[in-house]
Amino acid sequence: MEYTTLRSILILLAVAVLVVAALKRVKLPTIIAYLATGFLVGPHGLGWISDTANTRALAEFGVVFLLFTLGLEFSLPRLIVMRKAVFVLGGLQVLLTTAGTALIAWLFGARLPMAIVIGGAFALSSTAIVVKQLAEQNEINLQHGRLAIAVLLFQDLAVIPFLILIPGLAHGIDTHFATQLVWAFAKGMLAVIIILAFGRWLLRPLFHQIATTRSAELFTLAVLLFTLAAAWSTAALGLSLALGAFLAGMMLAETEYRHQVEADIRPFRDILLGLFFVTVGMLLNPQTMMNHGWLLIASVIALMLFKTVLVTLLACFLGSDRASALRTGMALNQGGEFGFALLALGLSQGVIRPAHAEFGLAVIVISMLASPLCLRYSGVLAARLFPRDESASEHDRLQHDIGQQQLQLENHVLLIGYGRVGQNVARFLEPAGFQFVALDLDPVRVKHAREAGDPVYYGDGTNPAVLKAAGLEHARIVVITYFSIPVALKILAHVKKMRPDIPVLVRTRDDAELEKLMQAGATEVIPETMESSLMVASHLLHLLGMPMREILHKVQEVRSHRYSLLRSVFRGQDALPIDPSHAFREQLFTITLTPGAYAIGKSIGELNLRAAKVVVTALRREGVVGRQPPADTVLKEEDVMVLWGRPEDLENAEEILLRGAGSKPRALKDKETA
């Protein structure tokens, strides 16, 4: 028995390695490779592995980690900012698609519980494919990209009621169904309350104590324990394991340990998700596809057309222009990975028959295969059908967001990207008397920077309308701080077309595309790895006793030859950057002193924020920004404080500054106790 299980695992791993490597070469999604692996080795393919209880258990744990990952990436602030698009557009899309496809399935002879499961599975789209393709096309922050992300966010939330609903459907829809459904949702809400309460009051202190041990193994074990315990708790209430996993991920996402958790859980997630999609692929039956070939093709076309038209009409109804609405519809017209999860859950609960599950899986897989092409050519189609909308909508929106801010500047510096590098550059420009305007695509960063008085605007630098509204025609120089080479090349093309004479500085991670950027019109390219190498070498030579004049001469010589000396290195395989020490997490953060805030009427020195490991870098009062305010500065209502520190320390400082006057801040209590 043990050898049989080991043999199955070896077969799965060997075939998965070969298929994933082959499909990666043709740039197909990894999900498709895993599905193909399951199809090849499964009972309907070569028959090397049978569909046993063990494989179904693997699939269930794959769903658990799929939902855990979703919860870990869930952002409540993002949900609040996009609430109209999320709840109205997303809610109507899920509701109408579920109802429409369920009605069609019911008319074709499916029982009502089965029709509801099929409708729910077809209503969901592929977050992995849509986000990846939009990112590759640099369209996430365009109007159709934001709308698509909003709908995907609601679809992710809609998985929760489906996870509660499907086990209730297993008993059929009869006179007791309403009672059973209400009871299932009541148990679901009880599970949510218990896990949220545990996460809110116990999770952060628990993980803080574990983190102080500095044991990576203990931290990983704690993450797995909490995840599986949450999944078990919902299963014990008669609900799905996946619901508890989602709530566990959501709770961990609210802590400062989120990124470490994501890094630690990634190996388990990737392996089990791969096995989940393999087991889903094992359900695909070529005989079913051959017997219902035309019906299958017609179903795929009908699904994609229905979702495209529905989302387009809904987006237009909510005020979007026709071009963006059409592109949103084409982005969301496929099935998704959570559709697999719902069909697998429905199959395990006996709600849906194997033949119908196989047919539904085939429809989703084929639609996912066609989706990247729809996304890639949606802009071309929208531009041909609605040329005025495609060009005017973004221009009008950006003119309102940026142009209305009265940017009447001359000879200013245009910073495209306001991350750490962009902000550091700005800090050098400001005291030197040079004006600047910055563009960035992170709404939270833009909000905090504007509260601090920085001239930063939300806008996509790859859009000519944004560049024009930001005053490119009157700018003195452009600085591009984005890492992405395709984005930098696109910005360079627009900048040089509008202002061929303007100098452009481009910051890159390394020298891989240095020559290409120079040929595209960059005046100077600054590779971070090259410059850091120069700094290390300079300090080393100085410590070794070389005169500073010779050191500066060597550095200048390397720069004048475009870093040719430093580019002669052995290159390793590209890998994700991992920072096990979690250093360099400090960031800027703005806090507005609202009425009743504890800090009002007190000096900065009295608050002893340095004890909380936070530094006050600036204070904005009545539109005037003061850098490095003295400790005796008395704070007033509506003051905007700019703080610098780690996320967890900034959260502590916010509590100190804003909590009511009835209780003393934590840092002051600690000081008095000491």
End-to-end CA distance of the chain: 64
Mean pLDDT of the chain: 76
Lowest mean pLDDT among 119-123, 371-375, 385-389: 385-389
The tens digit of pLDDT for each residue in 382-435 reads 888 887 655 445 444 544 445 444 445 678 889 998 888 888 888 888 777 788
Distance in angstroms (rounded) separating the CA atoms of residues 157 and 414: 39
Please name the residue that has the structure tokens 């390793």: 572
Domain boundaries defined on the chain: 2-385, 411-522, 587-673
- pLDDT(578) > 70: no
Lateral strand order in the sheet of 456-458 = 456-458, 436-440, 413-416, 477-480, 504-508, 524-527
Distance in angstroms (rounded) separating the CA atoms of residues 365 and 32: 8
Verdict on whether the full-model pTM lies above 0.75: no
CA proximity to 336, closest of 91, 148, 121:
121
At what angle are helices 177-198 and 241-253 packed, to 10 degrees? 30
Q: CATH number of the domain at 411-522, out of 3.30.70.20, 3.40.50.720, 3.40.30.10, 1.10.1040.10?
A: 3.40.50.720
- pLDDT(159) > 80: no
> What class, spelled out in words, does domain 2-385 have in CATH?
mainly alpha
Q: What is the pLDDT of residue 308?
A: 93
Q: What is the pLDDT of residue 309?
A: 93
DSSP secondary structure string for all residues of 413-470: EEEE--SHHHHHHHHHHTTTT--EEEEES-HHHHHHHHHTT--EEE--TTSHHHHHHT
With pLDDT > 70 as the criterion, what percentage of the chain qualifies? 77
Distance in angstroms (rounded) separating the CA atoms of residues 266 and 262: 6
Q: How confident is the model at residue 47 (pLDDT cuts 50, 70, 90)?
A: confident
pLDDT, mean of residues 492-499: 89
Beta bridge partners of 644: 588, 615
| The pairing of beta strand 456-458 with beta strand 477-480 | unpaired
pLDDT, mean of residues 46-60: 66
Q: What is the pLDDT of residue 2?
A: 53
> What tokens does 226 get?
């909490």
Q: How confident is the model at residue 295 (pLDDT cuts 50, 70, 90)?
A: confident
Q: How confident is the model at residue 668 (pLDDT cuts 50, 70, 90)?
A: very low
Q: How confident is the model at residue 304 (pLDDT cuts 50, 70, 90)?
A: very high
- pLDDT(352) > 80: yes
Categorise residue 637: left if φ over 0, alpha if ψ from -120 to 50, beta otherwise.
Answer: beta
Lowest mean pLDDT among 306-315, 463-472, 505-514, 577-586: 577-586
> What class, spelled out in words, does domain 587-673 have in CATH?
alpha beta
Q: Tell me, yes or no, if the two domains 2-385 and 587-673 fold the same way.
A: no
Lowest mean pLDDT among 218-232, 401-415, 558-572: 558-572
Residue 92 vs residue 159, higher pLDDT: 92
DSSP state, residue 591:
E
Q: How confident is the model at residue 473 (pLDDT cuts 50, 70, 90)?
A: confident
Most confident of 65-69, 127-131, 263-267, 383-387: 383-387
Q: What is the pLDDT of residue 585?
A: 58
Residue 493 vs residue 23, higher pLDDT: 493
Q: How confident is the model at residue 284 (pLDDT cuts 50, 70, 90)?
A: confident
CA proximity to 362, closest of 528, 159, 122, 129:
122
Distance in angstroms (rounded) separating the CA atoms of residues 163 and 161: 5
The tens digit of pLDDT for each residue in 510-535 reads 666 777 888 888 888 887 776 777 77
- pLDDT(165) > 70: yes
